[in-house]
Amino acid sequence: MSRPGTAEHLYRDSPLPTLPSPTSPEESRAGTSDGTGDQEGVVDIAHQLQQLVVDTSGARRTAIDIDYSWDFLSNAAQAFERAPELTQVTARDIRQGYDMQGYRWQGIEDHKLNYMVYRRTLYPQFQGIIHNVNDVRQQAQEPELVNNLYTFRYSALGEGYRSQINHFQLRDLIWATSSYDVFFWHADGVHRWNPWMRSRECIVSRRQMPHGFRLSALCADSGMVFAGDHKGRFFVAPSWGSESKGLEPVSIGKLGSDIINHATPGTSRSGARAVLVAHNAGFVHTVDVETLRVAKSRGFEWAANSCAQTTDGQVQCVVGDDTVGLVIDARAPDYSPPVARLEGHFDYSFSCAFSPDSRLVATGCQDTAARVFDMRRADRALATFCGHIGAMRSVQFSSCGRFLVAAEPADYVHIYDMHSLSNAQDIELMGEIAGATFSPDSGCLFVGVADALHGSGVFEFNKKQ
């Protein structure tokens, strides 16, 4: 992730379409000439825009085309003049004509189709390294789209289920430790959602956290929740149950003063429960969750945006502000050369994951592609899959090893069949995506949507038998 003061660039290869929209923030707030307008929706989405284009120090990135981003979002706000009719959706509601977000489109299907095409075409694509997206797409496969991998079961909608995104590049903000324990970051703390009981509770509130804690990384596993923020602070808290024994109610630690970009469950050399932390200062730390001490650190020449570990804890993958990802031996000294170099990216990567058998490693890159590498020959990608709207912000394998989920920053979550490498399922939603995660048994897929305009919620999909 770019450090404060450096520039991100906004890529676009086509002009805005002709749509009835204000041309400036002032006109948007004033409404249209006839006094109607959509002031409230535009102001809400403008606030979201401000979150997306302000770096962690609070200094605006001058390289971003603010006017273009504003026009995109204000156009969307005026074109989308609807409100959801439901606060929860089941498969039965889908059969009655509602979509997964509680909207009813019967009779105006073309309106939604045109609106989604607009978003796909004009969504701002941020680039750390300037490149032509068409060059990426020329290298990508085009899998056959199917709808028989996972099916929608249930969604809970509304502000109570709205994940909070504090940095537009960091989207691994939803985790599942079972099919009925889903953790996400909310405005008032860390929440646990039980889709089977249709209940939600706050397990770590704001008052239990350090003052001004702005979460940037979240993970949950083995009875604990770990969260890091933009100032290098973190906390570990028990989730629930017997596996939480040995943990204090909320234990607070600190890793320097730079932002924690990513966290994932792992193990230390001694086999103790640990969390791997990717740090913007250029380190991957292994943090013992019971002592809060750093068991091991390894430095890199660039900001570490994401890290992953094989199930046996012996090999790690690190991606960051470089076009090359590294696979390293976790047991080797820091100066040891990498086991493999994952090349072929056109921009920075923000997510990586190993398959359960440690044979495959996937990366999610800002160049709009998810890449899968075979560890037996990692000099080039085994498969490259491009999204529809922007960067691949989150990737994760299912525990059965058959599926890879890749989430874009908005609107689209993709499920790729790793057995065939030729089949894929697209899940289309409206709004900013906070993350996507499988349950440990691969039976469920959960997606979080955090959006001021289209509504927010958490969504459950079940694997087809």
What is the per-residue pLDDT across 274-317, written as a single tens digit (0 to 9) for each?
999 999 999 999 999 889 999 999 999 999 999 999 998 899 99
Instruction: Answer yes or no: are the C-beta atoms of 385 and 405 closer than 8 Å.
Output: no
Same domain? 70 vs 141: no
CA–CA dist 428, 387 (Å, integer) = 11
Q: Which domain holds residue 10?
A: 1-81
Same domain? 444 vs 324: yes
Q: What is the pLDDT of residue 266?
A: 87
pLDDT at 323 exceeding the cut of 60: yes
Instruction: Answer yes or no: are the C-beta atoms of 222 and 178 closer than 8 Å.
Output: no
Range in 227-241, 307-321, 344-358, 434-448 the model is least confident about: 227-241
Same domain? 68 vs 153: no
Instruction: Answer yes or no: are the C-beta atoms of 381 and 372 closer than 8 Å.
Output: yes
Q: What is the pLDDT of residue 139?
A: 92
Q: What is the pLDDT of residue 195?
A: 95
Does a structural domain hold residue 281? yes
Q: Give the number of domains in the chain.
A: 2
pLDDT at 397 exceeding the cut of 90: yes
Q: What is the pLDDT of residue 52?
A: 42
Instruction: Answer yes or no: are the C-beta atoms of 69 and 77 closer than 8 Å.
Output: no
Same domain? 186 vs 320: yes
pLDDT at 353 exceeding the cut of 50: yes
CA–CA dist 12, 313 (Å, integer) = 41
Q: With helix as H, strand as E and coil as C, how does 115-126 read? A: HHHHHHHHCCEE
- Helix or strand (DSSP H, E) at 127: strand 125-127
| Residue 134 zone, left/alpha/beta (φ > 0; ψ -120 to 50; rest) | alpha
Does a structural domain hold residue 152? yes
pLDDT at 326 exceeding the cut of 90: yes
Amino acid identity of 17? P
Does a structural domain hold residue 95? no
Q: What are phi and psi of 118, to 5 degrees?
A: -60, -45
Same domain? 311 vs 387: yes
pLDDT at 239 exceeding the cut of 50: yes
Greatest CA separation found in the chain?
Answer: 70
Q: What is the pLDDT of residue 334?
A: 80
Does a structural domain hold residue 343? yes
Is pTM beyond 0.75? Reply is yes
Instruction: Answer yes or no: are the C-beta atoms of 318 and 307 closer than 8 Å.
Output: yes
Q: What are phi and psi of 311, to 5 degrees?
A: -60, -30
- Nearest CA to 400 among 426, 423, 378, 419? 419
Confidence of residue 73 (pLDDT cuts 50, 70, 90): low
CA–CA dist 297, 256 (Å, integer) = 12
Contact partners, residue 47, CB within 8 Å, separation at least 6: 452
Range in 106-110, 415-419, 458-462 the model is least confident about: 106-110
Going through 213-355 in order, the beta strands assigned E by DSSP cover 215-221, 224-229, 233-238, 251-254, 260-267, 273-279, 283-288, 294-299, 304-309, 315-320, 325-329, 340-342, 349-354
Same domain? 230 vs 361: yes
Helix (H, G, I), strand (E, B) or coil at 144: strand
Does a structural domain hold residue 106? no
Sign (positive or negative) of CA dihedral 250, 215, 162, 354: negative
Q: Which residues of 250-267 are buried (b: 16+ CB within 10 A; e: fewer)?
A: bbebebeebbbbbbbbbb
Q: What is the pLDDT of residue 28?
A: 31
CA–CA dist 402, 390 (Å, integer) = 24
Same domain? 284 vs 138: yes
Q: What is the pLDDT of residue 16?
A: 39
Same domain? 351 vs 450: yes
Question: Read out DSSP for 246-276?
Answer: T--SSEEEE--SS-EEEEEEEE-TTS-EEEE
Does a structural domain hold residue 260? yes
Report, as an integer, the average pLDDT of 114-123: 86
| Last residue within a domain, chosen from 81, 102, 124 | 81
Same domain? 253 vs 374: yes
Tokens of 99: 């979509």
Sheet holding 260-267, edge to edge: 260-267, 273-279, 283-288, 294-299
pLDDT at 18 exceeding the cut of 60: no
| Last residue within a domain, chosen from 49, 81, 113 | 81
Does a structural domain hold residue 115? no
pLDDT digits (tens, 9 = 90+) for 183-217: 999 999 999 999 999 999 999 999 999 999 999 99
Confidence of residue 259 (pLDDT cuts 50, 70, 90): very high
Contact partners, residue 227, CB within 8 Å, separation at least 6: 185, 190, 204, 209, 213, 215, 217, 218, 234, 235, 237, 263
Selection from 3-7, 157-161, 403-407 with the highest mean pLDDT? 403-407
Same domain? 56 vs 150: no
pLDDT digits (tens, 9 = 90+) for 34-69: 333 334 444 444 444 444 433 333 333 333 445 555
- Mean pLDDT for all residues in the chain: 84
Name the percent of the chain lying above pLDDT 90: 64
Helix (H, G, I), strand (E, B) or coil at 131: coil
Q: What is the pLDDT of residue 32?
A: 32
| Last residue within a domain, chosen from 81, 99, 115 | 81
Q: What is the pLDDT of residue 387?
A: 93
The 8 Å CB, 24+ separation contacts for 378-384 are: 378/327, 378/340, 378/341, 378/342, 379/340, 379/341, 379/343, 380/343, 380/344, 381/342, 381/344, 382/421, 383/141, 383/416, 383/421, 384/136, 384/139, 384/140, 384/141, 384/344
Instruction: Answer yes or no: are the C-beta atoms of 449 and 459 closer than 8 Å.
Output: yes
Q: What is the pLDDT of residue 260?
A: 97
pLDDT at 220 exceeding the cut of 90: yes
| CATH code, 264 | 2.130.10.10
Does a structural domain hold residue 91? no
pLDDT digits (tens, 9 = 90+) for 181-191: 999 999 999 99
User: How far is residue 83 CA from its own chain's centroid?
Assistant: 25
Q: What is the pLDDT of residue 314?
A: 92
pLDDT at 273 exceeding the cut of 90: no
Q: What is the pLDDT of residue 316?
A: 95
pLDDT at 392 exceeding the cut of 50: yes
Confidence of residue 175 (pLDDT cuts 50, 70, 90): very high
